A and B are shown apart, each in its own frame.
Chain A
Amino acid sequence: MKEILVKINNPTGLHARPASILVKEAMKFKSNIYLIKNNKEYNAKSIMNVMAMGAAMGDEIRIKAEGEDEKEAINSLQKLLEDLKD
């Protein structure tokens, strides 16, 4: 199992468009992937979970992945979240 902490930097947070990009990316991996905010876990492969998390700018989120490609999954999602612009 791998875990990493990222900070959401884009002004509008994880709204629909970034959320759907993130979910599509997460689906590419075999591992189980979760986003953790305020000690609550959200399935990164579920658009409704990710949107319901309601992550805003400045929020710190942990990414947790478990499975054969957990390392790649973490790296790729970390980069995606950190690169969000609008």
Chain B
Amino acid sequence: MYKGIAASSGVAIGRAHIIKKEIEVKKYKVENAKEEIDRLDRAISITKDEIEKIKDASVNTIGEKIAKVFEAHLMILEDVEFINSIKNRIYDDKINAEYAVKLVSHEYAQIFLNMENEYFKERASDIKDVGNRIINILSGSNNNSIANIPEKCIIVADDITPSETAQMNKELVLGVATNLGGKTSHAAIIARTLEIPAVLGLGNITDVVKEGDILILDGDEGIIVVNPDDETVKRYKEKQQKINDEKSELLKYKNIIVNKNGRLIEIAANIGRKEEVDLAIKYGADGIGLFRTEFLYMDKETLPTEDEQFEAYKYVLEKMDGKPVIIRTLDIGGDKHLPYLNLEKEQNPFLGLRAIRLCLNRIDLFKTQLRAILRASVYGNLKIMFPMISGLEELRKAKGILKEAEEELSFQDIKYSKDYKLGIMIEVPSAAIISDILAKEVDFFSIGTNDLIQYTLAVDRMNQNVSYLYEPSHPSILRLIKIVIDNAHREGIWVGMCGEMASDLSMTETLFEMGLDEFSVSPPMILNLKKKLGGTYEGN
């Protein structure tokens, strides 16, 4: 049994199909270098066509962002230095085109791998991806690619590249197991979006598994079992059946509106990337309760522009079609870094310059985001939320900058809607304690339990020596939540919860009784909550 990172939920049982990254390329001498170079040129032109096709197809299946990766691939294929290096190799060393492509793409990949910047490091895999593609076409063998798997199987690979995921046939790929990658890696996100069980970061799974081995892949536990005995297969088949039954059972709740004891409760989705809005819709989210904007910043090597952000916000607002979308302004710092901001290293990052504090320190960056959000406001039902507010002064300052952003847009004659709502996260104990005062300033609260718990109990739950003290149902936490809800209702505003506690089904009843108005959870959890809260009425 091998343990990796549980990246996409579900159980898969099937034969292993190993995708080898390093294609074996034979080296041989060629008599006529000119002919070999012509052969290379033809292969490059076929490769271009192929990438163009995948690019067009992927815009529809997995989103524009990934389609952008293929634009980068095309640029590599058109790179004069890259192509000329290959041709020179063929000419000088009289070697076959396949081998020359392999040598040169590895050389370039190595240059990028040696760079400090994470973004550049990742470009190395793009170069190898393009190189392998040309080699496959040159050698006429395309057998070892994800696009051509013969039958239903579990893919075992070093890593899954964007171009491979774009060609993955969902019907045939039962599961994905890789050596590299983590919960937020590209492969993980695609697997979750396509709902293919995945275990990543296994280290050397491609070495220990042989082609055709029977595998059990448990995407919830992060486990791979190789050639299991009948007993184990039976056990996992039952688990698989159970999961499927539960899934189809839960889907019945999709179109239900929770209306319990005369109270309408909103069950919304937390999303981190714009593409995830599809999952939210699929599971019947009543809205987006938390759109984390960090990934817009973290996926890149530099700050996202106003237009880039605007497009992402607009995309989600339009897709939600009038249902509320809460966009949380940048929550960076703590354990989330942006190398390109060159921030000082802090002794206590969780108590340092993070989230709204960072935004108030870097007003340029904050205002760019606010302008982008405001511009998107005309495309749906927008709510803006500030994270980590700890006091009144801070909130007013943030509101002041929001006002400035509005005035700028009005002055420039750029349209935005004034109908948006403004809220704050309650995740610092001080904010919970003065929530009566803060409630007069905003339209809603959303309780972020993860931080509220760690700050209230003074516990770092990643620290194994003290994590036993991390107790979400500690009376102090429940009291704070109750205070926040009561204070909010007294001022006539609503309260949601977007922290992990919202998806803890053992807490659902308590939170409902306390008066919570909205639960925001990861998309698949929506159905569990709708079912749990029950007392429901079928909507449209």
8 A Cβ contacts from A29-79 to B? 43, 45-49, 51-52, 54
> Most chain-A Cβ atoms within 10 A of its Cβ — which of B72, B112, B119, B302?
B302
User: Is B208's CB within 8 Å of the partner chain A?
Assistant: no
- Answer yes or no: B147 CB below 8 A from chain A CBs: no
Sorting the interface of chain B by its residue count into under 10, 10 to 19, 20 to 34 or 35 or more gives: 20 to 34
* B81 within 8 A of partner (CB): yes
Beyond A15-B301, A86-B303, whether A48 also contacts B127 by CB under 8 A is: yes
A-B complex: 9 closest residue pairs judged by Cβ atoms: A46-B81, A15-B301, A49-B81, A12-B302, A52-B111, A43-B81, A46-B79, A48-B79, A12-B340
Contact between chains at A15 and B117 (CB < 8 Å) = yes
Beta-carbon contact of B115 and A11 below 8 Å: no
CA distance A44 to B72 in the complex (A): 17
Task: Give chain B residues whose Cβ lies under 8 Å from the Cβ of A9.
Answer: none
Q: Given A16-B119, A52-B112, 20 more contacts at CB 8 Å?
A: A11-B340, A12-B301, A12-B302, A12-B340, A16-B72, A20-B75, A23-B75, A43-B80, A45-B81, A46-B80, A47-B76, A48-B76, A48-B79, A48-B108, A49-B81, A51-B123, A52-B108, A54-B115, A86-B302, A86-B303
Can you pick out 23 interface pairs between chain A and chain B where the beta carbons lie within 8 Å of each other? A11-B342, A15-B120, A16-B119, A16-B120, A16-B301, A20-B75, A23-B75, A43-B80, A43-B81, A45-B80, A46-B79, A46-B80, A46-B82, A47-B79, A48-B76, A48-B82, A51-B120, A51-B123, A52-B108, A52-B111, A52-B112, A86-B302, A86-B303
Contacts of B120 in A (CB 8 A): 15-16, 51, 54
Classify chain A: how many residues form its interface, as a range: 10 to 19
Q: Which residue of A lies closest to B81 (CB)?
A: A46
Interface residues of B (CB under 8 A from A): 72, 75-76, 79-82, 108, 111-112, 115, 117, 119-120, 123, 127, 301-303, 340, 342
| CA–CA, A54 and B117, complex, Å | 10
Alpha-carbon distance between A9 and B472 when the two chains are bound, in angstroms: 48
- A28 part of interface (Cβ distance < 8 Å): no
Within the assembled complex, what's the spacing in Å between the Cα atoms of A47 and B77?
Answer: 10
Chain A residues closer than 8 Å to B301, beta-carbon distance? 12, 15-16
Complex alpha-carbon distance, A30 and B209, angstroms:
54
CB-CB nearest in chain A for B83: A46
- Complex CA–CA separation, A12 to B120 (angstroms): 12
Docked CA distance A12–B341 (Å): 9
Cα distance A16–B117 when bound, in Å? 11
Within the complex, the shortest CB–CB distance from A2 to chain B, in Å, comes to 21
Q: How far is the CB of B111 from chain A (nearest CB, A)?
A: 5
Least Cβ–Cβ distance between A66 and chain B, in angstroms: 15
Shortest Cβ gap from B300 to chain A (Å): 9
Tell me, in angstroms, the Cα distance from A51 to B123 when the chains sit together. 10
Min C-beta distance of A21 to chain B, whole Å: 12
* B116: nearest chain-A partner, CB-CB: A54
Please report the C-alpha to C-alpha distance between residue A86 and residue B123 in the assembled complex, in whole angstroms. Answer: 20
Q: Which residue of B lies closest to A46 (CB)?
A: B81
List B contacts of A11 (CB < 8 A). Answer: 340, 342
In angstroms, Cα B76 to Cα A11, docked, is: 25
